Structure 1
Amino acid sequence: MQTTTPSRQAPPAATTLSPAVDATALVKRFGTVRAVDGVDLHVRQGEIVAFLGPNGAGKTSTIDMLLGLTTPDEGSVQVFGEAPRAAIAHGLVSAVLQTGGLLKDITVRETLELTASLFADTRPVAEVMARAGIAEIADRRVGVCSGGQQQRLRFAMALLSDPGLLILDEPTTGMDVEGRRSFWSAIRADAARGRTVLFATHYLEEADEYADRIVLMSRGRIVADGTTSEIKNLVSGRVVQATLPQADQVSLAALPGVDDVEVKGDRVVLHTKDSDAVARYLLTQTDARNVEITPQNLESVFLALTSDETGAQPPADDQQKGDRS
């Protein structure tokens, strides 16, 4: 038996003026390691924010503090003006994590009905199944659902409380291309209703395509925060690509202004601060064809801003927990 309130039209936090996330000077230590080192993270209501960083960056530890799963050693965090656990208790925030939380021997519908019974006020089960795109598998046992279908079930479970903030931690891990596209279509449609979304992902193209804003974390600190175009502009130079069979990678790398050269079959990719000179060389001194010049992509910026020149190891908490970040 579930209690529903079909008349509610917007996430419960939509009437408040508080930021969806207001975290200041967060610090989390594991032994002598500062896994999170003075992080400020402020997310406005209605934003879709990608939270990026390499393994060991501290993203999972930060997300755990936003969800009230762990307490900051220093700093403060509020969700819609409340402590994280209070916000969760009031149905203001839900999370879609990579694994866990599913009983394999009951159906998709039964899973949602069981979850709904834990809340005093939920959206109808049929509604959240439709919004998550799993209505057609309502009577299928969870154990025989694909990985992508199980993630969509977790998404439907997160929607039951009609949260103002939805936190997604690597939500499409293990999905095929079509599954990822379908999942993000459902997320985008739901975000269009005014819900705030904060998601961590290893798939940079997801951040590029779906986020209003990107927050990039490295070694416990936020190293960049802005729109996709603003983030890309943080690294100078352009990418020159061309078809060049049997490319001489050593000679290309020696060209003035070239930072990196990749050879992918007959295709060569050069990252350079002087794209005009590189293109001129390719067209006049080699047999290159199909030459393209583009701005730095998100992957290039990600690597430039998060590379660890000191060769330091990932923070101890992430090594111990197998960081999802």
Structure 2
Amino acid sequence: MQKSYGKVKAVDGIDLRIKPGEIVAFLGPNGAGKTSTIDMLLGLSKPEAGSITVYGKSPRQAIAHGQVSAVMQTGGLLKDLTVRETVELTASLFAESRPVDECLERAGIKDIGDRMVFKCSGGQQQRLRFAMALVSDPGLLILDEPTTGMDVEGRRDFWNAIHTDARRGRTVIFATHYLDEADAYADRIILVRKGKIVADGTSAEIKALAAGRTVRASVSNLDQTVLAALPGVDGVELRAGIVTAHAKDSDAVARYLLNNTDAKDLEITSHNLEDAFLALTADESDADSVKTN
């Protein structure tokens, strides 16, 4: 599918299928096309080319039948209602809905049902949006940056509630800038750049796409030029007696350091999800800085 805004091509041929029961992280830098894709999944906009079907229906039809719900970053709450009244109002919009108390309990906010919405913290309001999304018992739950503005404890509690519910078979697609959330909770990670998918796989598979490892050691007699010239070395940094080398052949770097320098406290680490994210989504003009940082 494709979507443009003027001369800017926000979505440029994204083609994917999501299986029932998957937890999928949809990641990319700002302007990569994440929100535009989610808007089309929710029927808020239409693709200029291609098509979208959700459970064999158009997005709007699937939402009307209660098969799709969303938890967005902001909005959607009436401040002068209580938490319970808000979920009851949402439930009244559907011909069939889950019990309000069940939704509040799954979202972890049953104990604050009588609290006014404006008195709820940011994390509690996001849980309330989650409870509202559960009312129609959707097969697909879409989360767009759901923990933006939450503190660490709020993020953890929110994801525990989401993950507990997802284990019951619900499909979840979420966009986030917090890569640790994708690493911890996603069965599958999709990376997008400039409106195109650049990687699709498990967290381990995505990390493996960022070839190489990082070697660090304390050293006082290093010839940085010689180390940088070793085959497969992408970048070398020497700061305060600590050398950091990124290389496809970390064993060769380690052997050189141990045999030709006074290196000690040597450690070799694999790339993490952030390394892979930067390597796979960076603009070509940023490639050198990504390699050597």
Asked if these proteins are the same fold (TM beyond 0.5), I'd say yes
Letter in 2 for 1:136: D
1:224–1:118 distance in 2 versus 1, CA, 3 Å: same
1:232 deviation in Å?
1.7
CA deviation after TM superposition for structure 1 residue 240, in Å: 2.6
Count of residue pairs brought into register by the alignment: 284
Measure, in 2, the Cα distance between the counterparts of 1:136 and 1:60: 33
Contact 1:225/1:231 (8 A) holds in 2: yes
Find the counterpart in structure 2 of residue 254 from structure 1: 228
Whether 2:13 is the aligned partner of 1:33: answer no
- Corresponding position of 1:12: none
- CA distance in 2 between counterparts of 1:124 and 1:246 reads 67
Tell me, yes or no, if structure 1 residue 216 matches structure 2 residue 191.
Answer: yes
State the alpha-carbon separation in 1 of the partners of residues 96 and 238 from structure 2.
56
The answer (yes or no) to whether the contact 1:27–1:73 under 8 Å persists in 2 is yes
Task: Note the C-alpha offset of 1:295.
Answer: 2.2
1:292 Cα deviation (Å)? 2.7
Q: Deviations over 1:3-42 (max 9, x none)?
A: xxxxxxxxxxxxxxxxxxxxxxx01011122110011021
Unaligned segments of structure 1, at least 5 residues: 1-25, 312-325
Normalising by structure 1, we get a TM-score of 0.80
- Using the size of structure 2 for normalisation, the TM-score is 0.89
Q: 1:293 aligns with which of 241, 263, 268?
A: 268
1:60 corresponds to: 35
Q: How does 1:122-271 map to 2 (within 5 A)?
A: 122-242=97-217, 244=218, 254=228, 256=230, 257-260=232-235, 269-271=244-246
Residue type at the aligned position of 1:254: A
Percent identity at matched positions?
67
Matched residue type, 1:156 = A
Answer with 91-100 or 167-176: which moved more: 167-176
Does 1:308 pair with 2:257? Answer: no
Give the alignment partner of residue 250 of structure 2, picking from 275, 278, 295.
275
The aligned counterpart of 1:3 is none
Verify the 8 A CA contact 1:163 1:195 in the aligned structure 2: yes
Distance 1:246 1:221, change over 3 A: farther
| 1:269 shift after superposition | 4.8
1:260/1:172 CA distance change after superposition, 3 Å: farther
Distance across 2 between alignment mates of 1:114 and 1:157: 9
Q: Report which stretch shifted further, 277-286 or 173-182.
A: 277-286
Moved more, 270-279 or 186-195: 270-279
The 3 A distance-change label for structure 1 pair 276 and 136 is: same
* Alignment check: 8 A CA contact 1:35 1:220 kept: yes
CA 1:102–1:297 in 2, change beyond 3 Å: closer, same or farther?
same
**Which digits, 9 at most, give the CA deviation of each residue in 1:156-191, with x for residues without a partner?**
110011000000111111112222111111111111
Q: Deviations over 1:103-159 (max 9, x none)?
A: 122211111111111111111111111111111211111112111111111111100
| Worse-superposed segment, 230-239 or 62-71 | 230-239
Structure 1 residues 277 and 90: CA distance shift in structure 2, 3 A:
same
- RMSD across aligned positions (CA): 2.5
Q: CA deviation at 1:60?
A: 0.5
| 8 Å contact kept, 1:245–1:265 | no
User: Are residues 239 and 90 of structure 1, via their aligned partners in 2, closer, same or farther at CA, if it must alter by over 3 Å?
Assistant: same
Given candidates 60, 75, 81, the residue that maps to 1:85 is 60
Code of the aligned partner of 2:171: T
**Contact persistence 1:50–1:200 (CA under 8 A):** yes
Cα distance change, pair 76–156 in 1 and its aligned pair in 2 (3 A): same
> Are residues 255 and 206 of structure 1, via their aligned partners in 2, closer, same or farther at CA, if it must alter by over 3 Å?
farther
Counterpart Cα distance in 2 of 1:203 and 1:296: 17
Structure 2: distance between partners of 1:250 and 1:139:
65
Q: Is the 8 A contact 2:26 2:175 kept in 1?
A: yes
**Cα distance between partner residues in 2 of 1:178 and 1:266:** 37
Unaligned runs of 5+ in 2: 287-293
